[in-house]
Amino acid sequence: MRRLAALCLLTIVTPAAAQQRDFSNVEIKVEQVAPGVAVLFGQGGNIGVSYGEDGNVIIDDQFAPLVPKILAAVKTLDPDPVRFVINTHWHGDHTGGNEALGGQGSVIVAQDNVRKRMSVDNISKRFNMTVKASPKTALPVITFDQGVTFHLNGDTLQVVHVANAHTDGDALIYWQKANVLHAGDTFFHKATFPFIDLESGGSVDGMVAAGKRGLELVRPGGKVIPGHGPVATREEYAAYLAMLEDVRAKVAAGIQAGRTKEQIVASKPAAPYLATTQEGFIKADDFVGAVYESLRAAR
Ligand SMILES: [Zn+2]
């Protein structure tokens, strides 16, 4: 549990601080999800891989010091270089490898707001820190507004922007043939309660909308790769969406009844989910507080 908390804190550390951490014991584990589709687990956001005759595509790239291990893991699937990197959003535990990968010729692709946020210093009042602007080679060179589609490795990868969910630059990536979705940090599975980054343009209503959009994409029998935690079934993903909607409704009812944030948090609306969700980087109360702040801001 302590290990998980420390690991999840990396979500918000600066690239410089990440460099100082010791990643030497981190192992990159490869899990097959479908033919031509794998997920890499290491430290930071889960990495999706599309591999096959047209070259490797990876979705997110964790932290800079892990890039050699990530590339070695990709090589066990296919010896070709990484042709494209798609970022699900701008957070450093999903984009930390961009500079090294961009520098060796991978084309980095992300939603417009990912490049915007990575291009400037981001000040977080909540975490009392500044995430410095990224160097040019770490920035996405192809950006999109609503989405983009990749036709390779015998599949069609649909990249779909979902607005103001975990951040303002989230993308869902869906393999149409393999029926696999990488949901980025719009989906936290078991490892922690959801993190809604309000300071990066996130909102609870956007998280709910992202879950609905993702469920429209995945057909029955499909798999969903979360930003953090183990690969989920479509049913588990649907249960997560129901949890988001349930907690949102309870918090909204509390606001309607004139209760304060403290009273609503104390009423423990997320308590039923403690059995299936760990209190990782985001505790149940943190999540409820963020839902409250998000709904108040929307009024
Ligand atoms: Zn994130």
Q: How far is the CA of 202 from the centre of ligand 1 (A)?
A: 10
Phi and psi of 214, rounded to 5°? -60, -40
pLDDT of residue 18: 59
Residues with C-beta atoms within 5 A of ion ligand 1: 91, 185
Which residues lie closer than 8 Å to 92 by C-beta, 6 or more apart?
10, 11, 12, 13, 14, 15, 18, 63, 131
Count of C-beta atoms within a 10 Å radius of residue 213: 19
- State the distance from the centre of ligand 1 to the C-alpha of 195, rounded, in angstroms: 7
Cα 68 to ligand 1 centroid, rounded to whole Å = 22
Predicted TM-score (pTM) above 0.85: yes
Print pLDDT tens along the chain (299 aa): 334 433 344 444 445 555 568 899 999 999 999 999 999 999 999 999 999 999 999 999 999 999 999 999 999 999 999 999 999 999 999 999 999 999 999 999 999 999 999 999 999 998 899 999 999 999 999 999 999 999 999 999 999 999 999 999 999 999 999 999 999 999 999 999 999 999 999 999 999 999 999 999 999 999 999 999 999 999 999 999 999 999 999 999 999 999 999 999 999 999 999 999 999 999 999 999 999 999 999 87
- Please tell me the predicted confidence (pLDDT) of residue 84: 98
The residue whose two tokens read 């029998």 is 221
Which 8-state DSSP code applies to residue 231? -
Is the distance from CB of 214 to CB of 187 less than 8 angstroms? yes
Determine the 3-state secondary structure of 211 from DSSP: helix
- Report how far ligand 1's centroid is from the alpha carbon of 152 (Å): 27
Determine the residue type at 263. Answer: Q
How far does the centroid of ligand 1 lie from the alpha carbon of residue 91, in Å? Answer: 5
Q: What is the pLDDT of residue 126?
A: 87
Residues 228 and 186 sit within 8 Å (Cβ to Cβ): no
Q: Which residues pair with 31 in a beta bridge?
A: 39
What is the rounded distance in angstroms from the CA atom of residue 86 to the CA atom of residue 281? 24
Model pLDDT, residue 34: 98
SS3 content of the chain, % helix, strand, coil (to 5): 40, 25, 40
pLDDT confidence of residue 179: 98
Domains annotated for the chain, with CATH where assigned, are 2-236 (3.60.15.10)
What angle do helix axes 284-298 and 204-217 make, rounded to 10 degrees? Answer: 100
Query: How many Å lie between the centroid of ligand 1 and the Cα of residue 187?
Result: 10
CA of 11 relative to ligand 1 center, distance in Å: 6
